[in-house]
Each structure stands twice: as structure tokens, then as C-alpha cells.
Structure 1
């Protein structure tokens, strides 16, 4: 808009109040700008102005006009008998100094030289001598268009063609429940609706249908998804009624902008310290739950430490991530608690809408609850997060505006999936969502710069974890459901198939050089915990076979070894989840040893023959870890004492069985030696008889009386037979020790010198393994408080 155009338009406003006469809505080019230049006549009308009409039209009602519309209509409709006085077109600065104004837009030359803002008297009646900038009209028009676009994108309703003050929800139309969905409407009905181009947004799960330009009422939000999302019904012409009415059934509210709040912001000693602490989170949990981009978080971190005021969702994410990082870094719990409490100040604002920031806020809260002794129930938080994710449709394969939005949505959902599988299996509870209901694909291996690098990106390890969790989920659902028990043959075949999948996963897992420990040791830990879940007694396989017992024992030793290595370098996380895994692995070893004892009682070879030294070290490691847990968590000392008693009893029983077995073997050896000696004597007698027969004369009939008389006399005086020189001489074994050497942990021998069977609770041997169920209930009670 040039200076001349603005001057021509500004000079047409009148100061008098509008007369109470009928208003004629005529063309602006013929009424208001009759004396304008040709260039001004070619300008397009303002977006806020009504379109020209060849016939007179009645004015719109007063309640349907915006303030700008009312001002324009009032100025245009003022027609009086006398010619009104024109407004001065000079700006206030030039008018006060009685200088000629050159009407430059948006600032005249005099105002530009003086460094002041160029203002002019407002159109219409003077109000408190207020002045407005020259470009106020254009600025307001641009802002209105911008706000209308925001409303359309956030709510899904185009308000540009709606009357001011109209309701934008479905409550204003009582008949919207009975409307026919657009997907099954006739072609004539569809042609009457001017549907705009649908926009899929990441900030709202449902894209609303914009109303038609010529419709008097807005389309209800619940019916909006039909025009923008693919059909989800049974057939092409039958929509999914649940998807149509989900907004009303769930009492959804439109997404709105989060309020700009300025709560307290906690900071560490320096930016370098904050980056170091945050790096501990991304170098550990960031590989397991990659819902938060590292570059994005560090960008917000620098902004905060430079004095910037973060948005509510950024404020919440910053404080909860720092709180988690302080917990896993073995910092002071009080400092982590302060950051957690600061994050709660903006949690309600972060959860205001159904969008990705809400999912991130809940995931951060769940991780904090898993590592802290305070906070909400992780089971309840995961349930709410899964409901929100399903409501947003994150579990479905659907298009997104940009690839990055799609990638972030996938990472958030699969992080939630991993955490749900872990907590559900630990507590022995059902899974939050079935794998059959998931159609979204896996995330891509993208670096922070957005470039795809298979096997060499920060998403390499998370992808491997997701793949194993999906196998883990199928195993858990198959073996721990309430379906009938499996026949032994079917159970063995199914476990063999699962074992092949798990082995293939481990052999194909790539090594990520930037995180060598996570791509090797962490893979091994996940591998053995999956085998432990698969082979231990389950609902559908309560009596495992020999292969299952061997796999349970070996996997338990490897799991305990993994935790012991972390404890040795001071990196063990003293959380309830670690305690559960350690105790469970230790109980499994004792259960395998009990199976060996049963085999010995039945005179069968033992099922599991582990390395004796490695097995004893694993049991001792469990005792040490439980004792250390008892110093940090109240109540764990009782669990450690119970495990010590169980292990002592099992080892004492094993020692007694081994002693009995050794005695039986010694008796068998002595019997074998006696039998060998008897056989040797018989062989010697036979040889002597053969020699005597060879020494008899040619006429045996003459010598028979003599031999028959002499043989009885010389038989008692014969020397004892000599042992053959080629046979070894077997010595008798030494007598067994009076007390069996039972490998106990607390120097208490339950086997006395009499060699009698130790006193064992008859039910403890049967229920030894299932004592973990009691601990599972204890864990479940803690996580759901």
C-alpha cells in the first residue's frame, strides 16, 4: 500500500455518528472511492470487507459482526443530508508542528527522522484523543487471519466464514447426532459440502472436518474424522461408528495453546555440569527408551541456562530428566527430589492436550517412579499413558505431515511398549496392549542430523531392544495365559521354536562402537532374561523337562553374573526392579538344585550339572546383593535371611545326598572287589585241577585207588593259591569322615555326626521355586500404592 493510496482511503472516514437510516451495501469502488486514483481502484478489497453486490442487502445483525466489521460498516453506511467534515490526513507529529506530511507508509519522513512512531487519529468518533499507527488496519487484518488459521489447525474448524460469537463445538446443533456421515452420504449431498484439504497434525489425534462455507452450522467434531482419515469400518461404505463418535463418548475437548507460565527453574552449578548429568541419562536409559531426541533436549538445556524462560512442556521435561539422571548417577536423593517437585508445577499444563508432549511427560514420570522410592504408581502411570497413546492412534500405521513427526511418534509408542512389557512381566500382570492390535512400523535408524545409518546410528540399540521385546511379548502371552496346559510334545516344540528366534536375534545383533557396553553386555543380559522367562515353570508348562531345567540354571547364573559385574564397578541401580531380577535368578538356581535332589532320590542322574565353583559363586553373589539391598531398602533384610536359609538347606541336603551316594559307591566297589577275588580263586583252582589231570599216568585205572586215598590227606596241607602277578592289588578305601562337608553360607551344618537325614520342612522343597510368587505380590503392592 503506497502513501497516496493510504491518504486517499484515510480521507474518506467521517467524524459524525451514523444516521439512523437504511444502509445500502454498495460497491466500495463506486461509493467510497469515487475520487480515488485509478491505481487505488484496482486494489482488492480487504479480507474483512463484505463482497460487493449488485443488489441492496440488509445489514447483518449486530451480534454477528466483529469490531472491525462494525467499524467498516458504520463508516460506509453513514449517509447524511449535509456533507461531513473530513479527517485530517496528516499524522499527529506533523499536525502538531504544522508541517506538511508526505504520507509515507507506514512512517512519514518527518517521523522517520525524529525516530517516533507515525500515528494518525482513529477512524470514527474520537475516544479519549487516542491515536493509532498508520498500519494498524493492515496489522489487525493479518493478525485476524493468523488467529483464524491457528483455530482451524488446532480445533479443525474454519472460523473465517462463521459469525462472530458463534459456538465452535457440536453443542450448538442439537441435531448433529442424527446426521448421515459424509462417507456414506449421496453424491448430491457430498457435492453440497465444500470440504477443504485435510491436514494431519501431530498436535491432535483427530483432524476435524471444516464446515462448508455456505452452511449455517458447524460440522460436529466427532464426524470430522470421516473426511480426513481412511475408512476403518467393515466395508468401504460402512464407517466405524466408534471412531465417528469418539470425541463425544470420551468427552474430549479441543486442543488449546498451553498457558505461558513462569514457574521456578532449578539449575545445577553450571551448564557443563548439567550437560554431564543429562548425558548420563541419554547414555543409559536413552538407548532403552528413545522417546526424547538428544539434540532437542540439549538445545532447550542451553536456552534455560542462558536465562531463557521455557515453555510448560519444556519446563516439565527438563526437570524430570535431570531428576532421573541424578537418581541413576547415585547423587543425593534430596537433589533429585527437588527437581521432581519442580517438574510437578507444570505437569498439569504439559498434560493439557492429547499430543506428543503429553506422552513424553507421562513417560518421564513413569521412569522416575521406577527409580525413586517416592512418586506415583508406575503401573497406574503406564496405564494412563497407554490409554492416551491409543486414543491418539499411535499404535496404528497412518500418515503424518512430515517424516520427523512420524519418527517421533513411533519412538514414543515403542518406548512405551518396551516399558509396559517389562513392568507387566515383572509384576505378573496382563500386558497393556495386544500385539495383534499394533500396526505401526518400527522406527528408522536415523542419526541426530536426520540421515539414515543402518547399524551405526543412535537408534541401532533401541531397535534391537524393540525386536527382542516383541519376541518376549509373544512368549509371555503364550505361556502365561489362562489357556489349557500344553502337552509335553507341543510345549517342547514351541519352546524350541522360540529358542531359535531368540538365538537368531542375539547372533544378528550389531555392535554399536559408540556404545560398546550396551551393544554387548546389555544384549547378553536381555538374552538370558528372556530365556529365563521362557523356560521357568509357567501356567501352561508347569512341569519343565530336562532342557528347561538346564536352560533355567545356566541363564540364572549369567543374569546374576551381569548384576555382579555392575556391582563390582559401582554402577548397580538399587531399584526394586533390580531386586526382583536378582532374587528371581537366585531362587531359580535353588529350584534347579532341588530338581537334581529329586533325581538322586529316584536313583536317576541329575538333570543339571553346572560348574560347581561358578554355581556357588552365583549363590554367594545373590546373598551379598540382597544384604546390600537391605541396607538401602527397608524390609529386604527379611528377604535376604529367607534366601540364606533356603540355600543353606538345599546345600546341606545336597551334601547328605552326595555322602549317601559316595557310601553306596564304596559299597558297590567293595562288593565288586570281593566278587573279583572269588572269581580269581575259582580260576586258580581250575588251573590246578587241569595241571593235576595232565600229571596222571597212562593207566588211570591202576592209580585210582591210590589217588582216592591220598588226595584227602594232602588237600589240607596245600599252600594257599598265589595271585597272578599281572593282576593289580586293590586296597580298601579310607573310612568316610564322620560329618559330611556341607557347603553352607553361615557356618551352620544341618547334618550332624550321626549321618541322619537333615530336618527339612517337607513343603519347602515343593514350594521352593514358587516362593517367588510371594515376592511378586510384594512388588505389585509397592508399585500400585
Structure 2
């Protein structure tokens, strides 16, 4: 049977009629980029950049027709390359896991065949011992070890402050431990992991920022951080690392990817302070750098490795959830020593010689700053260093192809030279000498009068340092190049020099006045920086602010110091410190918050002295207490103070100051502390049951357990319980 003919087969364009072919020479129109569209230019649509944008050196941006989202023209190609690279990495990891599993099963089977079978009770005992050993090992892994903090951190002075304040021992609730914080290749085994906490998914690499944002981030880093730590040569970094990463993406060198992402991370911290929230957080850049490219950096073992460690240390000081700044800075210094950067080396290349100096002295500055703050031993002694200070050359004046001998620049100081960095090096050298003289581990046999006389020598050097501090005629955004920062460093050194120390435990009215003025100046200078939006929210700044405020309150326990001020002025200074701590809580929520509570309570106790009018009611014998010898001055502590601060076993015992002693020594305080405080007109009503123990105040979210003044009140002399996990 013949098939029926299609009645429409003869109609043109219907049925089996051939489809119209596309004319040769015509192509589908490519999406014009935004730059060509705005200029009404013809866009050739080439990848990764059209010809017009490529000639202009601009980024080629197109708008997606469906989502109307603006993306780089090479966005799809970059994503495909990233997916392919991740797929290859995933396949390699799967193959490695499979191989290790097979090898483990093979080794386990061989061990089972060779091992003798246990028999009877003896075998059960052996198995029980092995199980007990395993349980003991697990117990050790879940135990929080106690970390050493030294005297220059404020431990010694903290004992004195703790001894003169009344109250009942009631600790604040333990701070909530951070779960699953980042690790820096040095996994801690002493942390008890919380139960039933979902595991954080593994980090994934973030997309690189567009060219505009990338330039803003690197500009922020070199404008704000480079003047104080110029361990990166900007032209070299931009040409060798930055541009290659933007051009090649994840296919760039691993060291370049790490250095660039860490520069982005630190620059994002400064941009966040200036402009608020950013689309990608500093922690995102940090996670990408440490999770995917850190191993490549360590494989190199060269100058770039130390530069990467210095970037990590810089980031850790400013970011509460990053890593252990003390350990990383120590690793950077030891790596520098391994390469011999601490020794003078004759080199024909000015660039290579100067970069070695810059990297070493940057590691030196970070090591001194962190170690003295924590009161821990320095990574290297000054006597073991013979390398010269770097020349005060800007990066433009120091080029890789320049082999001529350098002499440093002359003329007016510029924000782009090394004058700030060199001055900071001298400050850290000064601080290390103070620590060795006034905060030694062993004080037996020390001549207190001789050590005290050395203060005058140190003071003269410190005055010369502040007088010769750089002054810049051109505006600079870096806080380290501001007059306020140099004044802060000067006053902080004064506190380190004049507050009670193991080598000089005695306090005089003269030294207390210096400490009082320096601490008040520190608070006001920090407030000035905050008003200019230049305040650095680092844990070193938080330590400095807290120490200054506690020192100010301590000096006000003396009638001679209180006579120089008024209650209103003191209350204003306390409120200034509290406002700064409140703002710092945005970055360090728990640490700054608990510091705020401590200062608020101690401030209330000190303000009560102005209302009590004890100066006119004190017995005349109290005046003689100021001049008694060291053994009598540091002999006995009131039991209430011991109970509150938990320092009954401390090696340093201090007698309360006369005014405080008169306030708390009566039986009325011993039996009815709350009623006593109400009768003595405290400015704020305090519940003594809520007075906190300062032990371990900052054992959370900080680098190790940043001791500040507070770890002095721990009952296990000089050791602070570190509850921060996974450092």
C-alpha cells in the first residue's frame, strides 16, 4: 500500500523543504562589555579581554543577560579552570587515600599473624594496661595545659594591684570556648573538644577579587602596614606575585598565591575599619591562603617563606580567630636565623642585602613586641646580632638591578622611606634591655639601689628617642607614622620602666606620679586615635589600654596622687577607657567585654576613696608606712584580698596601701561587706557576690592566654590556664 502523500509537501517552507542555511561570514553578536557600551565603541568580544579594554589596560566587564550581574569576561573560563584543578586535586587525594588504606590493611594483617595470642589472666592484664595507656593518652589530649607568662606582661604588678583591693572570691563564668578555630599546622593536642558539635565543613578557595578591589586591598596594606614592617618590596611584589595571580588565577605559583592572599587579608582589615563591611572578609582570604598554599611556601625555605610567616604574624595580632602570633613570630625569627639573616654578610647586591636586613629586623620587631607583652623569653639575644640596620631607602630608590652602594636618603622625611621602621627597631631594642634588667627570672643577689639608678640612664635614652621621632610633613594614613603613636610607645615604655618590677619592687611617690601621668596620657592618646579613625584594634593595643587603666587606678590609692586630681576628672578618665573598651568589643567581644567589667568595678572602688575622705581621718602612723623597708611593705596581705584573688601561695606578698587598708581592715567589712560598701557611698551599687576573680580574665579568643595584668592572680604561680583551643 502506497503511503499517502502529504498534501503540504509541495508548499514552500513546509514538510521536507530544506532548512534555510545561515549565511557565511555572519556570526552571532558577542556581548559588548560595559566600557565599550558606555563609549559606544564596537566590542570584538575577545576573551579574556576585548581589544579596546586590553589596549586601555582596563578590566573587561560584561553584564549577564539573565541575572544582570556584572562579571569579568573571563569569569566562565576562570571557573572552568578552577573546577578542573579541584577535580584533579580531588582525584589525586582519593588515590592517595585508597593507597594508604590498602597499605594499612596489609600492615595490620601481618601484625596479627606475627603477634602471639594472649592467654589467661596475664593476657587480660596486658590488654588492660594497653587500654589504660590509651585512655591516659586520650585524657592528656583532652587536658588544657597551663601556659607560661612572665613578669614584663604585668604579672608582678598585678600581684600588687590584687593585694590592695577588697572583695569576695567569685569568678566570672568561664568564657565560651571557640569551636573549631583555624590551626596553623601545629595542631594542639591539649584541647577537649565539645560534644555533639557539628564539624565545620572544609574551607573552599574563594574567588579572587576584581582588579579594582585587589588594587584597593594591596594599597591599604602598603599604606597602613608597610611603614612599620617593610619586609615586602612593593615593586617586586606587584610584578612577581600580584600581577601573576590576577593574570593566571589559581594556576599561578603557590608562593605567589599565598603572599597575595595574605596581603589581601591584612589589607581587608584596614579597609573594613575605614569602609565597614566588605563582600569578602579578611578571614576568608586567610583561610584560602593557609588551607591551600601554605605547604608550597614552606617547601621553598627561602626569604619568601619568612615573609609569609611575617604576614601571618601581622594578621594574627589583629584578628581574634586566626592563629598563635607568638609561635608564628618565633618560627619566623628562627627561620631567619637559619638563613643567617642575623649576621653581617658582604654582598655585592644592594637589593639583596637590604631585603635580608628588612626581613630580619621585621621579625625582630614582631618577636620583641609579642614576647615582651607576654613576658616570655626572646627568640634571640641582642649580643648575637651583628647585622646592620637597613638603610632609610624607599622601595622606589631600592631596585633589584641597582648594585651601587647605598647611603640612605637625605632631605625631608617621606612616608615611603624607612625612618619609621628604623625608629621602631630602636624602641624594641630599648624594650628588650628593660626586660632583661628590671624583669629577670632570678632576682637573688641583685642590688636594688644599683638597678634603680639605671632608670635614669634608661630615661635619658627614652627622652632622646621620643625627641628624635620622625615628623612627616606629608599626610599619611599609617597610624605608626602619627605623633600619637610615638607618644603612646613612649608612655608605654615609661610604665614598663617605672611600675613595680621584680628588680625594683619598691615604689616611691615620684615613680607613681610618672606612672599616673603616663597611664592617663596613654588613655587620652588612644582616644585621640579613635577620634581620627586610626585606632588599631589589636590585642597588643587592648593589653596596653588595660594595663594603663589599671595602673592609673592603682596610683590613685595613694593620697599624694589623689590630691593632684579630682573625682570628676578621674571619673572622666575611667569613662574614656570604658568607651574605648566598648568599641574594641566589636573585634574582641569577650576579651574587651570582660576588661570593661573589671575596669568598671575597680573604678567604682577607687572613686569611693574620694567620697570616704579618708585622708583627714587616717591615723598619723599611716604616713610612716610609705617609707618602711621592702620586707615590711611586702609582708602580709589581708585575708579578704587573698581569698578574692586566690594568691595565697604567690611568692610576692604585698601589704595593702594605707588608704585601702583603713577602708577594709575593720571587722565591719569582714562580716558585712555589702552593708559596709553601701555605708561608704560607693558611686555604683556592687553586689560583692558578683565581684570577679581576675584569674584567667583573657583566656579566650586571644593569642594563647594573653596575660595582661590578670594572670598574676592565678593560684599556680606564674602560670595561666589557657582555655583557648587549637592554637
TM-score interval, smaller chain: 0.5 to 0.7
Aligned with residue 413 of structure 2, among 452, 456, 468: 456
From the superposition, tell whether residues 629 and 770 of structure 1 become closer, same or farther in structure 2 (CA, over 3 Å).
closer
Q: Secondary structure, in 3 states, of the residue corresponding to 2:300?
A: coil
Equivalent residue of 2:288, what SS? helix
Tell me the residue number matched to 2:598: 642
**SS of equivalent to 2:281:** helix
Determine the structure 1 residue equivalent to 2:549. Answer: 586
For residues 436 and 532 of structure 2, the distance between their equivalents in structure 1, rounded to whole angstroms, comes to 36
The reply to whether residue 651 of structure 1 matches residue 598 of structure 2 is no
Q: Kindly indicate whether residue 339 of structure 2 is the aligned counterpart of residue 380 of structure 1.
A: no
Match 1:543 to one of 506, 521, 524: 506
Check 1:307–1:392 CA distance in 2 against 1; reply closer, same or farther (3 A cut). Answer: closer
Counterpart of 1:575 in structure 2 is 538
Distance 1:421 1:754 in 2: 45
Structure 1: any 5+ residue segments left out of the alignment? 1-262, 665-747
Q: Distance in 1 between matches of 2:611 and 2:437?
A: 38
CA 1:613–1:431: 2 relative to 1, 3 Å: farther
**Shift in Å at residue 568 of structure 1?**
2.7
1:497 matched to 2:444? The reply is no
Q: Distance in 1 between matches of 2:719 and 2:525?
A: 25
CA shift for structure 1 position 446 = 1.0
- What displacement does 1:570 show? 3.7
Question: What per-residue deviation string (whole Å, max 9, x for no partner) do you get for residues 275-313 of structure 1?
Answer: 222222222221111101122233343443345753222
* Residue in 2 that maps onto 1:773: 712
Matched, 1:472 2:427: no
Rounded Cα–Cα distance in structure 1 between residues aligned with 2:726 and 2:569? 37
Aligned twin of 1:190: none
What corresponds to 2:628 in structure 1? Answer: none
Residue deviations 1:387-423, cap 9 Å, x none? 2111111111112241110100100010011111111
Instruction: Find the aligned partners of 2:680 and 2:310 in 1 and give their Cα distance.
Output: 61
In structure 1, the residue matched to 2:470 is 510
Q: 1:274 & 1:514 partners in 2: Cα distance?
A: 25
Deviations 1:198-244 (A, max 9, x none): xxxxxxxxxxxxxxxxxxxxxxxxxxxxxxxxxxxxxxxxxxxxxxx
- Superposed CA deviations along residues 256-286 of structure 1, whole A, max 9, x for unmatched, are xxxxxxx9684223x3332222222222221
1:624 alignment partner in structure 2: 579
Q: CA deviation at 1:658?
A: 5.3
Further displaced range: 352-361 or 455-464: 455-464
Alpha-carbon contact 1:377-1:783 (below 8 Å) kept: no
CA distance in 2, matches of 1:450, 1:281: 20
Q: Give the structure 1 partner of residue 317 of structure 2.
A: 370
Structure-to-structure mapping, 1:3-82, within 5 angstroms: none
Alignment of 1:315-334 (within 5 A): 315-330=257-272, 331-332=277-278
How far apart are residue 532 of structure 1 and its match?
Answer: 1.4
1:438 corresponds to 2:385: yes
Q: Alpha carbons of 1:766 and 1:573: their partners in 2 closer, same or farther (altered >3 Å)?
A: closer
> What is the alpha-carbon distance in structure 2 between the residues aligned to residue 586 and residue 364 of structure 1?
31
Instruction: Tell me the distance in 2 between the aligned counterparts of 1:283 and 1:554.
Output: 32
- Say which structure, 1 or 2, has more relative contact order (CA 8 Å, 6+ apart): 2
Q: Is the 8 A contact 2:611 2:681 kept in 1?
A: no
Q: 2 CA distance for matches of 1:292 and 1:755?
A: 58
Is 2:443 the counterpart of 1:484?
yes
Query: What corresponds to 2:146 in structure 1?
Result: none
SS in 2 for 1:283: helix
SS of residue paired to 1:443? coil
Correspondence for 2:214? 274
* 8 Å Cα contact 1:377/1:784 also seen in 2: no
**Equivalent residue number for residue 15 of structure 2:** none
Partners of 2:258 and 2:358 in 1: CA distance: 19
Are residues 608 and 581 of structure 1, via their aligned partners in 2, closer, same or farther at CA, if it must alter by over 3 Å?
farther
CA drift of 1:619 comes to: 1.2
**Would you say the 8 A contact 1:380–1:784 is kept in 2?**
no
Residue of structure 2 in register with 1:675 after alignment: none
CA contact (8 A) 2:217 2:268 kept: yes
CA deviation string 1:31-71 (max 9, x = no partner) = xxxxxxxxxxxxxxxxxxxxxxxxxxxxxxxxxxxxxxxxx
1:305 match: 246
Unmatched segments (≥5 aa) in structure 2:
1-203, 399-407, 621-673, 696-707
Give, in whole Å, the separation in 2 of the partners of 1:322 and 1:272: 12
Q: Quick check: 572-581 or 470-479, which moved more?
A: 572-581
The answer on 1:361 being equivalent to 2:301 is no
Task: Report the Cα distance in structure 2 between the residues aligned to 1:756 and 1:554, rounded to whole angstroms.
Answer: 25
Alpha-carbon displacement from aligned partner over 1:354-390 (angstroms, at most 9, x marks no partner): 3101110111111122222223311221222122111
Do the aligned residues in 2 keep the contact of 1:584 with 1:772 (CA within 8 Å)? no
**Structure 2 residue aligned with 1:556, among 519, 524, 536?**
519
CA deviation string 1:143-202 (max 9, x = no partner): xxxxxxxxxxxxxxxxxxxxxxxxxxxxxxxxxxxxxxxxxxxxxxxxxxxxxxxxxxxx
1:337 aligns with 2:279: no
2:361 is equivalent to residue 419 of structure 1:
no
Q: How many residues align?
A: 429
Report the Cα distance in structure 2 between the residues aligned to 1:550 and 1:784, rounded to whole angstroms: 42
- CA distance 1:469–1:504, shift in 2 (3 Å): same
Going from structure 1 to structure 2, the CA distance change for 1:352 and 1:756 (only over 3 Å counts) comes to: closer
Q: Deviations over 1:562-590 (max 9, x none)?
A: 22123334443333222211111111111
**How many Å apart are 1:479 and its aligned residue?**
0.9
How far apart, CA to CA, are the structure 2 residues paired with 1:291 and 1:783? 30
Alpha-carbon shift at residue 749 of structure 1 (Å): 11
- Evaluate the alpha carbon distance shift between residue 546 and residue 364 of structure 1 in structure 2; reply closer, same or farther with a 3 A threshold: same
The question of whether the paired residues in 1 share the 8 Å contact of 2:452 and 2:504 is answered with: no
Partners of 2:381 and 2:497 in 1: how far apart?
19
- In 2 relative to 1, CA 766–328 (structure 1 residues): closer, same or farther, beyond 3 Å? closer
Give me the whole-angstrom Cα distance separating, in 2, the residues matched to 1:343 and 1:417.
24
The more displaced of 410-419 and 654-663 is 654-663
The separation in 2 between residues aligned to 1:332 and 1:774, in whole angstroms, is 40
Q: Distance in 2 between matches of 1:756 and 1:578?
A: 30
- Is 1:351–1:361's contact at 8 Å kept on the other side of the alignment? no
TM-score, reference length from structure 2: 0.53
Larger radius of gyration: 1
Q: Are 1:379 and 1:784, in contact at CA under 8 Å, matched by a contact in 2?
A: no
* Shift of residue 631, structure 1, vs aligned partner: 5.2
Alignment RMSD (CA, Å) = 3.7
Quickly say closer, same or farther: Cα 1:509–1:756, change in 2 above 3 A: closer
Q: How does 1:193-204 map to 2 (within 5 A)?
A: none
Aligned to 1:222: none
